[in-house]
Chains A and B, each alone.
Chain A
Amino acid sequence: MSNRSRILLLLGLLILASLVSLLVGQHDISPATIVRSMGRSLADLGVDMSSGDDVVLWKIRLPRILAAVVVGAALSVAGTAYQGMFRNPLVSPDILGVSAGAGLGAVLAIYLDFSVRVTQLFAFSGGLLAVTLVCAVAWCARTRSLILALVLSGVAVGSLFASGISLIKILSDPHSQLSSITFWLLGGLNTIGADDVLGALPWITLALAPLVLLRWRMNLLSFEDDEARAMGVDVTRTRIAFIVAATLMTSAVVAISGVIGWVGLVVPHMARFLTGPDFRILLPVSMLSGALFLVVTDTAARTVAPVEIPLGILTAFIGVPFFLVLLVRGGDRR
């Protein structure tokens, strides 16, 4: 199967999954109603806010599916980029402390009783702050291996921020804030609306640009730095561009969805399994696979039970066994 047909197949599956997802939900809407509603919306380009079906379909379900597509795609692309530039297939977007930083920001905002919007802003800045800190420390310690310095300071700063989260958990009101904090840290798309997705989208697009433009150079980063340099790549600058892009992307997504683990680790693997490691093809394939993966899991999260199953739990249920099998099988069959 050629790469083009693989991409088309994934795109087809994604569209199919989204359509199926559009048909199911807690609020019963018959397919006939959906088709009628689609026709009506196309005709006058508006949504009838007085009709419950229309509101659910266009204002709740569709934005949520869109959110799953965007969040899944962004996390996977970020994971693919991180794995490539760290030359390590077991790396996830959390490696530089994005999640811990975003988590601390969001938890602080919840603790201070701020609104959802402010919480998102805090999470976004928290993620960026954590990575900036990690990179600054690594830069000062770059005498040896920059990668090693990044990973070590990522672990340290990540656990520092995680302790901050624990501290706020202890200080928070156990009867109201603690549950919100827990739910946020488990991630979920239940609170996402169209405006949230639209808010995150410019950042994600901005971050995607360097990844697409430098897609070929990413391949060279999988060799030793000296080799890549000898082949004409400015390794440091390229790596910084990737770190900035992947971090921006992860932060923007985590801010609206909370911490959804394992997508950024598992999906790049699946994608590499499908097409091999060439970043030029890996990028679109892992984007589409990530979107597909999250549309499917989120549809399960919102339909299996009347209350939400936290998405982070669901992705971990699938991701952790996958990761363990990978660890046991080890070797090169990625």
Chain B
Amino acid sequence: MDRRAFLSLSGALLTSLPLLHWPAPARAGTGGGTRAVTPIPAHGPPPETVRRILSAGPVADVLLVSLAPEKLIGLSSLDMPPWRRKYLPRIPRDLPGTGRLAGRGSTLSLERIVALRPDIVVDAGDADTHFISTLEQIAGRTGIPCVIASGRLPDMAAMLRDLGERLGVPERGQALADFTQSTLAHLAGIRERSRERPRVYLARSASGLETALGGSIHAEAIEHCGAINVAAHAGQARLARVSMEQLVAWAPDIIVTQSEAFFQAAQTNPLFQALPAVKQNRLYLSPSLPWGWLESPPGINRLLGLIWMTRIAHGAEFPDDDYTALLTAFFRLFYGCILTDRDLADLNAGVGARGHE
């Protein structure tokens, strides 16, 4: 080809690249008019008949372990290591791992679903059109009703109440919802009293140079606790890689991560050591048991992350006793686990355990 054609072609392509930076299409689930719970078909089974519940994904796992563990016939996680199981005494030892159903990469076949004979399949996440149509298809083919629970923090109390009723466990749903509501209110009070608006960077992956942009469910705990996500304006509601240089330019006050590998690497990496947040010992490794507190999966477990983030961002207004009391109450109520001081230390729940001492 001649040089001019090649140059003009590549020029046109280069100029179209900023399109990549355009915001992602608005999701149905992120707007104001969300429904906390979306049943498929429109009226689910009568609540009193729901005895066998199948979880469709990791987010629903967390939800169902808290809400109706006795009715669970399978967890989506294929394996449950003992150190995680330790904090989830309600899960029967022989509960099978059944695989993921919808969403990215399904490992659960329709035949297996029918064979498991669930009364209902529960999934969680933003109920967008694609997601709903996927579950409609599954419900249509298997004849088993499905339900989608919203994954967002502000919807959480309503979702727990609604889902509790639909699954025939209204009291539990109510109890969890009440706790969620009062905790959110309590944390909001702390947030309001505190003048702090720290700028926070969420370091994902072993390199730490992957983050969640504004509005992403992965950064929700950060944004909800009154901190500012430094990557909020870089794009919308997705995950992205950033350069070290961008991180230096952002100069976050606080860095939080859930990656043990990154946390270790940052202790010796001179570039991270030069960041003000790390210098001031404000690099925090989020606890990750029984599930990640900040994200992974982005479910109701993130209420713990919100408590933890609020403690980090507004420590002065959030005394230790208050903090550990909330954590203990959550573990007791949601996971059925009585935390000892030893457990709290094991969980690395204290936010004093940071950077390097």
Task: Give me the interface of A with B, judged by CB distance under 8 Å.
Answer: 25-28, 49-50, 52, 55-56, 59-61, 64, 110, 113-117, 119, 169-171, 173-176, 178-180, 183, 188, 190-191, 193, 300, 302, 304-310, 313-314, 317-318, 321-322, 325-326, 329, 333
Judging by beta carbons under 8 Å apart, are A114 and B206 in contact? yes
CB within 8 A of B235: which of A178, A306, A326? A306
Give every chain A residue within 8 A of B185 (Cβ-Cβ): none
A-B contact pairs, 17 of them (CB 8 A): A25-B245, A26-B249, A27-B246, A64-B245, A114-B261, A116-B265, A174-B104, A175-B58, A176-B204, A176-B205, A190-B242, A309-B20, A314-B17, A317-B17, A318-B13, A322-B6, A325-B6
* The one of A110, A179, A317 that contacts B239, using a Cβ cutoff of 8 Å: A179
Given contacts A27-B249, A64-B245, 6 further A-B contacts (CB under 8 A): A60-B271, A116-B265, A173-B296, A183-B205, A322-B9, A325-B1
A-chain residues with CB within 8 Å of residue B297 when the two chains form the complex:
173, 175
A175 & B206 in contact (Cβ 8 Å cutoff): no
Partner among A49, A113, A174, A302 whose Cβ is within 8 Å of the Cβ of B243? A302
Q: Which residue of A lies closest to B295 (CB)?
A: A175
| Chain A residue at minimal CB-CB distance from B78 | A171
Min distance, Cβ A21 to any Cβ of chain B, angstroms: 11
SS of B interface (majority) = mixed
A59 CA / B259 CA spacing, docked (Å): 23
Across-interface contacts of B213 in A (CB, < 8 A): 307
Interchain residue pairs A-B with the least CB separation, the first 6:
A307-B240, A306-B234, A27-B249, A176-B296, A305-B21, A170-B105
The answer on a CB contact under 8 Å between A56 and B206 is no
Give the shortest distance, in Å, between A298 (CB) and chain B (any CB).
10
Q: How far is the CB of B148 from chain A (nearest CB, A)?
A: 16
Contacts of A188 in B (CB 8 A): 241
Closest beta carbon of chain B to A99's beta carbon, Å? 19
Measured between beta carbons, the chain A residues less than 8 angstroms from B233 are 306
Q: How far is the CB of A289 from chain B (nearest CB, A)?
A: 13
User: Which of A52, A173, A304, A313 makes the CB contact (< 8 A) with B21?
Assistant: A304
| Contact A178-B104, Cβ < 8 Å, known A27-B248, A60-B248, A306-B235 | yes
Nearest-Cβ distance from residue A290 to partner chain B, whole angstroms: 15
Interface pair B235/A175, CB less than 8 Å apart: no
Say yes or no for B155: interface residue by CB 8 A criterion: no
- Rounded to whole angstroms, the CA-CA distance of A313 and B261 in the bound complex is 27
**Closest partner residue, chain B, to A273 (CB atom):** B3
Docked Cα-Cα span, A170 to B265, in Å, equals 27
Count B interface residues, CB 8 Å.
59
Please determine whether B17 and A175 come into contact, CB atoms closer than 8 angstroms.
no
Min distance, Cβ B201 to any Cβ of chain A, angstroms: 12
Residues of B within 8 Å of A190, CB to CB, are: 207, 209, 241-244
B210 within 8 A of A: yes
B49 interface hit (Cβ, 8 Å): no
Q: Which residue of B lies closest to A298 (CB)?
A: B243
Identify the closest chain B residue to A61 (Cβ): B245
CB-CB contacts below 8 Å: B47-71 with A: 57-59
Q: How far is the CA of A52 from the CA of B241 in the complex (A)?
A: 21
**Contact across chains for A307 and B231 when beta carbons are under 8 A apart:** yes
Complex contacts, A326 vs chain B, CB 8 Å: 1
* A49 and B274 form a contact (CB under 8 A): yes
Cβ-defined partner of B5 (8 Å) among A28, A178, A305, A325 = A325
Q: Does B133 contact A (CB under 8 A)?
A: no
Distance to closest chain B CB from A226 (angstroms): 34
Write out the residue numbers on chain A whose beta carbons fall within 8 Å of the beta carbon of B265.
Answer: 115-117
Complex contact A300–B209 (CB within 8 A): no
Interface 0/1 of B246-265, CB less than 8 Å to A? 10110100000011110011
Q: Are the CB atoms of B9 and A313 closer together than 8 Å?
A: no
Instruction: Contact check, A176 vs B295: say whether CB atoms are below 8 A apart.
Output: yes
Output the nearest chain B residue to A174 by Cβ-Cβ distance.
B104
User: Quick check: B206 and A309 within 8 Å, CB to CB?
Assistant: no
Please, which residues of chain A bring their CB within 8 A of the CB of B21? 304-305, 307, 309
Contacts A26-B245, A174-B105, A318-B10 given; does A300 touch B17 at CB 8 Å: yes
B264 touches A115 (CB 8 A): yes
Residues 291-305 of B, flagged 1 when their CB comes within 8 A of A and 0 if not, give 010011110000000
Contact B205 A180 (CB under 8 A): yes
Asked if A180 and B206 make an inter-chain contact with CB atoms under 8 angstroms apart, the answer reads yes
Bound complex: CA of A60 vs CA of B246, how far in Å? 10
User: Please, how many angstroms separate the alpha-carbon atoms of A59 and B275 in the complex?
Assistant: 12
A26 close to B246 (CB less than 8 A):
yes
User: For the complex, is B103 an interface residue (Cβ under 8 Å from A)?
Assistant: yes
Q: Once the chains bind, are B298 and A56 in contact (CB under 8 Å)? A: no
Contact A52 B248 (CB under 8 A): yes
Q: Which residue of B is nearest A178, CB measured?
A: B104
Roughly how many angstroms separate A56 CA and B5 CA in the complex, as a whole number? 37
Instruction: Say yes or no: is B218 at the interface (Cβ < 8 Å to chain A).
Output: yes
A193 and B244 alpha carbons, distance in the complex (Å): 9
Q: Chain A residues near B242: list those with CB within 8 A.
A: 190, 306-308
CB contact list, B315-350 vs A, under 8 A? none
Task: Choose among A27, A56, A59, A116 the residue that contacts B261 (Cβ–Cβ < 8 A).
Answer: A116
Cβ of B134 within 8 Å of any chain A Cβ, yes or no, is no
Q: In the complex, what residue of chain A is closest to B230 when comparing beta carbons? A: A306
* Given known contacts A64-B243, A321-B9, A173 and B248 CB-to-CB distance under 8 angstroms: no
Interchain CB contact (< 8 A) of B248 among A55, A116, A179, A193: A55
The docked-state distance in angstroms from the alpha carbon of A313 to that of B13 is 11
A151 to chain B, nearest CB (A): 26
Q: Shortest Cβ distance from B291 into chain A, in angstroms?
A: 10
Question: In the complex the two chains form, what is the Cα distance from A46 to B249 in whole Å?
Answer: 22
Q: Which partner residue on chain B sits nearest A28 by CB separation? A: B249
**Chain A residues, CB < 8 A from B205:** 110, 176, 179-180, 183
The answer, among B13, B14, B210, for a CB contact under 8 Å with A179, is B210
Return the chain A residue nearest B249 by Cβ.
Answer: A27
CB pair B244–A60 under 8 Å, yes or no, is yes
Which residues of B are found within 8 Å of A300, using beta-carbon distances? 14, 17
